[in-house]
Amino acid sequence: MPTLLIRNADILVTMDAARREIPGGGLFARDGVIEQVGPSAELPKDADVTLDMTGRIVTPGLINTHHHLYQNLTRVVPTAQNALLFGWLQTLYPIWGRMGPEHIHVSTLVGLMELVETGCTTSSDHLYMFPNGARLDDSIEAAVEIGVRFHPTRGSMSIGQSQGGLPPDALVEREDAILADCRRVIEAFNDPTPFSMVRVGVAPCSPFSVSRGLMKDSADLARSYGVGLHTHLAENVEDVAYSLKTFGARPGAYAEALGWCGPDVWHAHCVQLDAGEIGLFARTGTGVAHCPCSNMRLGSGVAPVREMIDAGVTVGLGVDGSASNDSAHMLNEARQALLLQRVSKGGAALTAREALELATLGGAKTLGRSDIGALEPGKAADLAAFDLGDVAFAGAQWDPVAALVFCGPARADRVVVNGRVVVEGGRCVTIDREKALLRHGMLARQLVNDAF
């Protein structure tokens, strides 16, 4: 039963019910689970691993609720830099269609490495194409190597261009094969127990790339196993127009009719939800993964996050795929969430502490977890430490908690997941970092160069 002692943090941000911020704080954990949190003087004096956090602010590990890790291979592709969502997808689909198992494995390694180095300890992933023998397994193996808590979702596309959908026919799968593989990966990898390191979800890509039948069958299948449901919804005005034209319903009504509302569902984006849909999500406990950088990058608009929070909707943050947000930095996402709300609604539309709460407690609730998102007894020992001596924080000593969101964005100095040190000195220490980056660079070059 290995024990872990964190002590002497300048401030330890708990996100507990009282939202305590403890000067000189620390915690004691056993076997990856927190037993005590408080001023360092009140904690045990030693442990198997002791980390002195002098000069650092410690927060609960940040939680990423939406990503497409494979897109790390196609950042800043010249022909997709300036397109809106549908044009952007049509440019990138053929490139992604040439990936295989190694592309998925290595891009997931590098993408998760980037995330943990910004303080992320739990990440979701939405993988919705499986070309050339690629499988969800390839991404899960990478997450296990990094040591991050992982929520892979088995995505899918079934309506190709010839059927009026957006993706090329070569990238869509038969619906019976999709459902069978969802069953396979849930049975092989999903761990529903507390402190689980892998929770599988079911995730048709979006209403414009799968049939009504697959949306419904996916929801039924997920519920039969008690796993989460995830998709993209109401991302921009084109998306809403497609829904009205094709289904005769706004995205919220379409989702509700097919069983896609409830505390086991989280939708990415929701930029264009109207007041009725916000009420529906609040009533049903449906979660939202807010991805401000991606929404700005693709010109999708400003998600009504203030309105969602006020209505009681569960909201977490997501960095989204690396081809529509070419940076996977959780504090940057919190910072942009704050700034973007203020752009449309004026100053103080979102506070720094609210933004940090979205990145921790909000993310945990969005993913349906009560064992992460806060530093308190009974929760997982998942935490991030940021060096307050960094130039990013110079002159901000009055309020280091707010500085985490207003300044920077700073990278994490140390990160612990499940009681294990994953980042030390700002670098992921669980894998051969340079080897992964080198291989990733080669695969990315090959993939993108071959496209032109």
**Site mask for Zn ion (CB under 5 A), range 365-384, x = bound:** --------------------
- Least separation in angstroms between residue 314's CB and Zn ion is 18
CB of 126 to Zn ion, least distance (A): 6
Q: Which is nearer to Zn ion, 268 or 416 (CB)?
A: 268
At residue 269, φ and ψ (nearest 5 deg) are 80, -80
Least distance in angstroms from the C-beta of 64 to Zn ion: 12
Q: Specify the residue, 300 or 360, whose C-beta has the smaller distance to Zn ion.
A: 300
**193's tokens:** 């127990």
3-state class of 257 per DSSP? helix
Which residue's beta carbon is nearest to the bound Zn ion?
320
Which positions from 25 through 54 interact with Zn ion, judged by CB under 5 A?
none
Cα atoms in the Cβ-side hemisphere of radius 13 Å centred on 99: 31
Q: Which is nearer to Zn ion, 11 or 268 (CB)?
A: 268
User: C-beta of 282: minimal distance to Zn ion in Å?
Assistant: 23
Nearer to Zn ion, 298 or 381 (CB): 298
Strands (E), 309-419: 314-317, 383-387, 414-417
What's the distance, CA 63 to chain centroid? 6
Contact between 382 and 339 (Cβ < 8 Å): no
Based on CB atoms, which residue is closest to Zn ion, 318 or 400? 318
| Cβ–Cβ under 8 Å, residues 131 and 97 | yes
Q: Which SS3 state, helix, strand or coil, does residue 155 take?
A: strand
Evaluated on CA atoms 24, 30, 32, 37, the torsion sign reads negative
Region label for 146, one of left (φ > 0), alpha (ψ between -120 and 50) or beta (otherwise):
alpha
Burial zone of 162 (CB within 10 Å; 0-12 exposed, 13-18 middle, 19+ buried): exposed
Least separation, in Å, of the C-beta of 289 and Zn ion? 8
The least CB distance from residue 417 to Zn ion, in Å, is 24
Residue 89 is encoded by which pair of tokens?
Answer: 């997808």
In the complex, least distance from residue 321 CB atom to Zn ion, rounded to whole angstroms: 5
Our CB check for Zn ion shows the closer of 268 and 381 to be: 268
Contact 266, 290 (CB under 8 A): no
Alpha helices (runs of H) in 233-274, residue ranges in sequence order: 237-247, 251-257
Please give the Cα distance from 366 to 373 (Å, whole number).
11
Q: Report the nearest approach of Zn ion to the CB of residue 349 (Å).
A: 24
State in angstroms the smallest separation of the CB of 72 from Zn ion.
13
Which residues are paired to 289 by β-bridges?
A: 268, 316
Judged by CB, which is closer to Zn ion: 358, or 410? Answer: 358
Q: Are 378 and 407 in contact (CB under 8 A)?
A: no
Closer residue to Zn ion in complex, CB, 92/404: 92
Give residues 290-349 in contact with Zn ion (rule: CB under 5 A).
320
CA distance 57 to 355: 16
Binders of Zn ion in range 254-283 (CB under 5 A): 268
Q: Which is nearer to Zn ion, 147 or 207 (CB)?
A: 207
Beta-ladder partners of 231: 267
- Binding track, positions 213-252, relative to Zn ion; x by CB under 5 A: ----------------------------------------
32 versus 321: smaller Cβ distance to Zn ion: 321
Q: Are 367 and 316 in contact (CB under 8 A)?
A: yes
Q: 212: which 2 tokens?
A: 């009504």
Q: How many residues at the interface with Zn ion, by CB under 5 A?
A: 2
**Shortest spacing between CB 294 and Zn ion, in angstroms:** 7
Chain residues in the site for Zn ion (CB under 5 A):
268, 320
